[in-house]
Amino acid sequence: MQKGLLTRLIVHQILKYLKDNRASFEKIFDYNNIYHKGLILSDKNLIRNIVLTAMRNEIIIKRIINKYTRKIKINGDEYFILLSAIAQIIFLNFK
């Protein structure tokens, strides 16, 4: 798997787990790092930055998603992919 795709997959898994379960970000992040030891420090910082920004601005991002999509499940995979993508594009200026 490409390095960029792996980081986005981990971001998706962390966001979904945070939404479904009551756990702290640090516990989930440490648990995911056990299984993904091939990540370098910059990838780990990218994951941390995207997840925290998406969580911090979730209300604004949810408004954007509702404005431009017609049917989307809040607990579906598409929602978490859009959540992380919008956080990267709008708030972090990643492309």
pLDDT in tens, the chain (95 residues): 676 788 888 888 888 888 888 888 888 877 766 566 677 888 888 888 999 999 999 999 999 999 998 888 888 889 999 999 999 998 887 65
What's the pLDDT score for residue 36?
63
**Which distant-in-sequence residues (6+ apart) come within 8 Å of 24 by Cβ?**
none
1: Cβ–Cβ under 8 A, 6 or more apart, which residues?
A: 9
**pLDDT of amino acid 64:** 92
pLDDT value, residue 32: 66
